Amino acid sequence: MGMPRDNDNVYNEATRNLLEKAYLEADDPRGGSGFRGDEARWERARRPLTSAIDRDGTLLDVGCANGLLMESLAIWTGEGGFRIEPYGLDLIPSLAALARKRLPHWADRIFVGNVMEWSPPSRFDFVCTNPEYVPRGRRPDMIERLLNDYLVPGGRLILCSYGSSRRTEPKAEPVSEILRHWGYEVAGESEAAGTNGVVITRVAWTDFRET
């Protein structure tokens, strides 16, 4: 991948302006990962990611914020009998610093960088990400980059989208349709709904097959 486009820098600056203060000043660890709701709601909204994890391995959370998802996935997959070793990457240095402070035992696994520029020190068995981390036109490039540069052969890319169950707020994107539309074979998918039945999380995954 070449130099970042100017558009990426503008987009990333907007992300930073939108998230940094709110995440750093949140009253609870979920707020530090951009989530509104109690622990039960967090689990309901994020547990669907564990359906993609079918073996032991390393996992990179792209956009790790304060590291809560890294922590939660390690616990939940452990309950299911798989041991994952979580790593994190975040665009915003202060959030990566917060994650390192919260998770000192994983401090050397939490990196600062833009998913479109960063080069991982080693490849991962699982990588999870969300489409909105890059401008719309760059999303297929992000998936391609994660598959080719971040994953081990046979590794799994997990694409997530989160929405709100409130009718006026954005909905989770149809990530399995998006992957298929971009030409990827979907190896599996999962979702979660809020108490009113509205889908709040969609997750779909595809495996990296070297050609």
Ligand X SMILES: C[S@@+](CC[C@H](N)C(=O)[O-])C[C@H]1O[C@@H](n2cnc3c(N)ncnc32)[C@H](O)[C@@H]1O
Contact residues toward ligand X (CB under 6 A) are 12, 15, 19, 33-34, 61-65, 69, 89-92, 95, 114-115, 133-134
Show Cβ contacts of residue 145 under 8 Å, excluding neighbours closer than 6 positions: 1, 115, 116
Nearer to ligand X, 145 or 180 (CB): 145
To ligand X, the closest distance from the beta carbon of 112 in angstroms equals 9
- Pick 19 or 193: Cβ nearer ligand X: 19
Beta strands in the chain (DSSP E): 57-62, 84-90, 110-112, 124-129, 151-162, 188-193, 199-207
State which residue, 45 or 179, has the beta carbon closest to ligand X. Answer: 45
Q: Least Å distance between CB 211 and ligand X?
A: 26
Closest distance to ligand X from the beta carbon of 131 (Å): 10
Contact between 175 and 189 (Cβ < 8 Å): yes
Position with the least CB separation from ligand X: 63
Which residue lies nearer to ligand X by CB, 12 or 58? 12
39 by Cβ neighbours in 10 Å (0-12 / 13-18 / 19+) ranks as exposed
Could you tell me if 151 and 158 are in contact, meaning their C-beta atoms sit under 8 angstroms apart?
Answer: no
Q: How far is the CB of 4 from ligand X (least distance, A)?
A: 10
